């Protein structure tokens, strides 16, 4: 097994895999189980200041299913921790005593300057290795809290400054994707002295409405809310945020990637795109702590295969390959290639191409096989997305030297309209 350790802001994690601040990091007992299973670190569940009473709606969550696949997304209206501050402090002390090698980052959320300062100090004293300031909870209703801070960029800077002036340990800012450009609040966080950025918190969303009683899920006694959506469904958004932050040269801070990570392949994609740490919740809800074994083994085998010695060597390796679309070489063209020996004759490629593609696939009804006009194919590749023959795929993209871009001729129907 490879050494997967990584040092971020002077804190060494045995591996980059962390519990994100959520239901999965609510108690020391739970976190200890995760450490035993192999997780490297934790972002301890969001702790609010003493001024706010503990509130948590019931029920708190709802699952988005896709066919037989459960939990492709998760909706939650949960607020900060449901436990008293005193208990959380004791838990952090206990964790640091029993798991000294597993860094504990404590996620805090103040509601005014004094609270930010107080919470930061208290958890530094309890032994936290790092802090994570929650500027991003998507369903806090109090002004000056959660996502509302992340959207009012000056507050990000001000609260960061206060915390940084009261503690010595590294401080991350956890940002929301519910802004036009995530690098903007990130730069304000940096101005306030942030040591790193966690991106991103849940995305504001609504996953389902009960069509019988018209109440969106989760149904909190007749009321629903636009609230935090997480899981594999938001991975493209969280990965995008990491890329934007990593490519922002003026920022130059270490990043913790969060949002929809489930397999080692997802984790590697985040590392390649600039993240140093990997946080997760929904996948743990789905599979339990046991999934970390597969993240560790998968990453380790990957590093062995690719000849990477340290996790650090992977970070940002994909960044040079992200471009603006204007930079694409449009003179090169290609077409979908079919390995018809393996075709089972289901015809779904034909339907997709005729109804949503370049209309270049015809159907040989007798042989039950698609017939492809490569000249007309414009490489949308949707045929390959619906083809059930996979691993390796039956339909692949191939460049065709000298191929011209095909423009569909005027529609036959035009004559009739005239």
Partner 1 sequence: MVKKKKEIKSRNDFFHLPEVYTLGQAILEADRCLLCYDAPCSKGCPAETDPGKFIKKLRLRNIKGAVKTVKENNILGGVCGLVCPVDKLCEEECLETGIDRPINIGKLQRFLVEYGWDIGFNPLNKKKNKDINIAIIGSGSAGLICAAELAKEGHNVTIFEKNEKLGGNLRYGIPPFKLDDKFLDREIEDILTLGVEIKTNHEFKGKGSIENLLKQGFKAIFISAGLTNPYKLKIPGADSKNVITWYDFLWEVNGGDINKVIEMVKNKNVAIIGGGSVAMDVGITCKLLNANSVYCIALESMEDLPADREDIHKAIDCHVIIKPQSQIKEISTKNGEVIGVKGTEIKLLKKGDFSPSNIKDIPGTEFSFKIGSVIFAIGSGVDSKNKEYLPLVEFDKKRYIKVNKKTLETSVKGIFAGGDIINGPGLVVDAVKDGKQAAKSIMNFLNK
| Interface ranges with partner 1 (CB under 8 A) | 262-265, 287-288, 290-291, 293-294, 297-298, 301, 341-344, 346, 388-391
Nearer to partner 1, 388 or 410 (CB): 388
- Min dist. Cβ of residue 269 to partner 1 (A): 13
- Min dist. Cβ of residue 291 to partner 1 (A): 6
- Min dist. Cβ of residue 161 to partner 1 (A): 42
For residue 137, indicate whether it is catalytic.
yes
Cα–chain center distance at 352: 30
- Min dist. Cβ of residue 278 to partner 1 (A): 15
Do 107 and 45 contact (CB within 8 A), yes or no?
A: yes
**Collapsed DSSP state (helix, strand, coil) of residue 47:** strand
Nearer to partner 1, 71 or 92 (CB): 71
User: What are phi and psi for residue 381, nearest 5 degrees?
Assistant: 70, 15
- Min dist. Cβ of residue 143 to partner 1 (A): 42
Nearer to partner 1, 180 or 391 (CB): 391
**Collapsed DSSP state (helix, strand, coil) of residue 266:** helix
Nearer to partner 1, 74 or 200 (CB): 74
Residue 418, C-beta contacts closer than 8 angstroms, at least 6 positions apart: none
Q: Which two tokens stand for residue 16?
A: 């980059």
Nearer to partner 1, 287 or 363 (CB): 287
Helices and strands (DSSP H and E) totals, the chain: 13, 18
Nearer to partner 1, 128 or 291 (CB): 291
Active-site entry in 137, 241, 343, 383 = 137
As a whole number of Å, the CA-based R_g of the chain is 25
Do 259 and 238 contact (CB within 8 A), yes or no?
A: yes
**Collapsed DSSP state (helix, strand, coil) of residue 215:** coil
Do 204 and 229 contact (CB within 8 A), yes or no?
A: yes
Residue 331, C-beta contacts closer than 8 angstroms, at least 6 positions apart: none
Cα–Cα distance measured from residue 249 to residue 274, given in angstroms and rounded to the nearest whole number: 12
- Min dist. Cβ of residue 208 to partner 1 (A): 23
Residue 95, C-beta contacts closer than 8 angstroms, at least 6 positions apart: 28, 31, 32, 42, 102, 104
Q: Which sequence positions are flagged as catalytic?
A: 137
């Amino acid at each position: 097994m490879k050494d997967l350790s990584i040092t971020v802001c002077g804190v060494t994690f045995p591996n980059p895999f962390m519990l994100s601040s959520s239901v999965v990091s609510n108690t020391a007992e739970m976190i200890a189980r995760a450490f035993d299973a192999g997780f490297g670190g934790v972002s301890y569940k969001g702790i609010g200041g003493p001024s706010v009473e503990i509130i948590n709606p019931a029920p708190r969550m709802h699952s988005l299913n896709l066919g037989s696949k459960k939990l492709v997304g998760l909706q939650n209206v949960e607020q900060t921790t449901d436990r008293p501050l005193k208990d959380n402090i004791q838990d952090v002390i206990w964790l640091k005593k029993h798991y000294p090698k597993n860094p504990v980052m404590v996620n805090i959320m103040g509601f005014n300057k004094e609270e930010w300062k107080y919470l930061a100090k208290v958890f530094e004293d309890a032994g936290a290795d790092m802090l994570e300031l929650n500027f991003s909870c998507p369903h806090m209703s109090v002004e000056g809290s959660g996502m509302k801070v992340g959207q009012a960029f000056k507050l990000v800077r001000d609260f960061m400054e206060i915390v940084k002036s009261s503690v010595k340990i590294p401080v991350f800012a956890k940002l929301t994707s519910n802004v036009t450009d995530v690098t903007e609040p990130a730069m304000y966080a940096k101005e306030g002295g942030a040591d790193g950025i966690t991106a991103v918190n849940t995305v504001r969303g609504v996953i389902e409405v009960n069509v019988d009683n018209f109440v969106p899920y989760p149904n909190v006694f007749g009321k629903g809310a636009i609230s935090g959506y997480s899981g594999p469904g938001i991975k493209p958004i969280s990965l995008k945020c990491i890329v934007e932050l990593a490519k922002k040269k003026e920022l130059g801070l270490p990043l913790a990637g969060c949002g929809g990570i489930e397999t080692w392949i997802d984790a590697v994609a985040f590392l390649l795109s600039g993240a140093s740490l990997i946080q997760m919740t929904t996948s743990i809800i789905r599979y339990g702590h046991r999934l970390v074994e597969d993240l560790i083994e998968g990453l380790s085998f990957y590093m062995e295969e690719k000849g990477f010695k340290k996790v650090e060597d992977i970070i940002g390796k994909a960044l040079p390959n992200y471009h603006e679309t204007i930079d694409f070489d449009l003179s090169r063209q290609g077409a979908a290639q079919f390995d018809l020996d393996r075709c089972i004759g289901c015809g779904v490629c034909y339907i997709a191409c005729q109804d949503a593609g370049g209309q270049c696939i015809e159907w040989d009804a007798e042989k039950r096989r698609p017939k492809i006009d490569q000249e007309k194919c414009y490489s949308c590749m949707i045929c390959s997305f619906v083809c059930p023959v996979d691993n390796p795929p039956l339909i692949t993209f191939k460049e065709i030297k000298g191929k011209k871009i095909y423009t569909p001729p005027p529609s036959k129907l035009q004559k009739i309209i005239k």
